[in-house]
Structure 1
Amino acid sequence: MAGKEDILTRTRIDEALNALPDWRYRLGGLVTVFKAPTAAAALELMAAVGRLAEEQNHHPDLDWRYNRVFIRFTSHDAGGEVTERDTAAAAAVSAAASDAGATAEPGLYRTVELAIDTPDAGEISEVWRVALGYKKGQGGDLVDPYGRGPSVWFQETQTPNSSRIHVDIHRSKAESDPVLAKTEATGALMDRDHAPDWVVVTDAQENRLCLCTEEGYQPGG
């Protein structure tokens, strides 16, 4: 059982990732994608990950898409943050993936959140929680208890944007530059005041989205 005292700092996470090139840090978890030679090989890799999870009593979120396996490790008993159990599990899974002939494509792992501008989050959050079947997470965020849907967070402001709901798309900084360049090439307005943490993108109809990276995100934040 992990506790708050077991949460790794960003410095320790970054140090661990130096030895885990297949993985990226993302919003309190370690994430990656493995591409297997075939769909059957991907299923075999998932079975291997399942066996490791049982041995270590530490279970990831797994998502199978044909010959690719999307994986996320986090320590739920430490508040949904990274602990040494996650780094150890990630190393074991990378070894299993190598044995299965799978290659890492961590840049494919994207995380999507919905953000809502509001002067009073408490006035509306319960509506969204009940309708979505979510639970409350850190700082009043709403999260899917099964890790399937995007989380929802409330940006409290006395001057809500005319487009109150926007999408946050999280990618690793290592893979973000091509996406930023391609997005800018569409003619979208790019506000880079907070880059590389996030870039605010506005389309021709003034709808917003944010392209975010792990920069600036601190465990427990």
Structure 2
Amino acid sequence: MSNKDILSQEDRESRLTHLPHWRYVHGQLCTAFKCSSAATALSFLAEIGTLAEESNHHPDVDWRYDTLFVTLVSHDVGGVSLRDVSMAEKISELAEEHGAQANLNITRTVEIAIDTDDRKQISETWRAALGYKEQEDGSLTDPYGRGPAIWFQNTDTPNNNRFHLDISVPHSHHLDVLDGLKQAGARLNYDGAPAWTVATDPQGNRLCICTEAGRHDG
């Protein structure tokens, strides 16, 4: 297998058993490291940058005070490859050197989903307004990775409430999220579980809790 080949689901899951600091969320390896201070987080960030330059493989890192959110994906092949696994291992080693603790409960990604019976009629409006790029599946993504992706849920019978959020969480933690939703009064529909569970708030607004389990993404 080449370092640039996308890992199969079986191989990816096998390798994740040796990466306790990481989870697979929506096509990426994700983690969040909490440090003892903002200064420590910044030092950790600088070393990740040096490592990325040496490896010529660059993760996305979001520095938030004492916490670093890190995602890894091989953009040139459109998925997780051995390069990402190798980089994840090295970043985890740096985390231990800095005393950073992984907090996997906050590794979440958000998409905005829009029900429509004619995606092409509306997608250009959203692309132009946001400056996003259209992907092969028709979804729209921020080329700078800052804003949430938008995807169009094609249906002949769009819901009255056409907008909902898709919140992707690691499968290992999704039950905690669903329990929190139930305690908050949401109604849950498990028809698509575990790939997605539809939650409806007391006023009828919907969102989906999505996981990697049950998805046919290779």
Provide the TM-score with structure 1 as the length reference. 0.95
Q: 2:103 aligns with which of 105, 123, 128?
A: 105
**For 1:48 and 1:218, how far apart are their aligned partners in 2?**
35
* 1:80-99 paired onto structure 2 within 5 Å: 81-99=79-97
Quick one: percent identity of the two aligned structures? 49
Are 2:5 and 1:30 equivalent residues in the alignment? no
- The answer as to whether partners of 1:37 and 1:67 remain within 8 angstroms in 2 is yes
- Runs ≥4 residues deviating over 4 A: none
The Cα of 1:120 is off from its aligned counterpart by: 1.0
Q: Secondary structure at the residue paired with 1:88?
A: helix
Give 1:138 deviation, angstroms.
3.7
**Residue identity in the other structure for 2:73:** T
Separation in 1 of the partners of 2:215 and 2:15? 16
- Whole-angstrom CA distance in 2 between matches of 1:188 and 1:35: 30
Which deviates more, 179-188 or 11-20?
179-188
Q: Which piece of structure 1 moves more, 185-194 or 47-56?
A: 185-194
**Counterpart position of 2:141:** 143
Stretches of structure 1 that go unaligned for 5 or more consecutive residues are none
CA distance in 1, matches of 2:24, 2:216: 11
Contact 2:32-2:102 within 8 A present in 1 as well: yes
Partner of 2:53: 54
Q: Is the 8 A contact 2:26 2:211 kept in 1?
A: no
After superposition, what is the alpha-carbon deviation per residue over 1:89-116, rounded to whole angstroms, capped at 9, x for unaligned?
Answer: 0000000111111111122111000000
CA distance in 1, matches of 2:136, 2:100: 34
1:110-147 superposed Cα distances (whole Å, 9 cap, x missing partner):
10000000011111111111101100124111001011
Structure 2: distance between partners of 1:219 and 1:178: 24
Q: Which shifted more, 158-167 or 135-144?
A: 135-144
Once the two structures are TM-superposed, the CA of residue 178 in structure 1 deviates from its matched residue by 1.5
Counterpart of 1:198, as a letter, is W
Q: Supply the distance in 2 between the matched residues of 1:202 and 1:177 (Cα, whole angstroms).
A: 16
Equivalent pair of 2:21/2:104 in contact (CA under 8 Å): yes
8 Å CA contact retained: 1:9, 1:218: no
Q: Secondary structure at the match of 2:76?
A: helix
- Counterpart-to-counterpart distance in 1, 2:88 and 2:215: 20
* SS of aligned partner of 1:75: coil
Assess if the C-alpha contact under 8 Å between 1:27 and 1:217 holds in 2: no
Query: Match for residue 187 of structure 1?
Result: 185
Partner of residue 203, structure 1: 201
CA distance in 1, matches of 2:63, 2:70: 9
Q: Judge conservation of contact 2:25–2:108 (CA < 8 Å) in 1.
A: no
RMSD (Å), alpha carbons: 1.4
Using the alignment, how far apart are the partners of 2:100 and 2:185 within structure 1? 37
CA distance in 1: counterparts of 2:99 and 2:159, whole angstroms: 48
- Asked if residue 21 in structure 1 is aligned to residue 24 in structure 2, the reply is no
CA displacement at 1:216 relative to structure 2: 2.0
CA shift for structure 1 position 206:
1.2
Alignment coverage as a number of residue pairs: 217
Q: Given that residues 7 and 219 in structure 1 are in contact (C-alpha distance below 8 angstroms), is that contact kept between their aligned partners in structure 2? A: no
8 Å Cα contact 1:191/1:199 also seen in 2: yes
Partner of 1:212: 210
User: Please, which of 128, 131, 134 is the counterpart of residue 133 of structure 1?
Assistant: 131
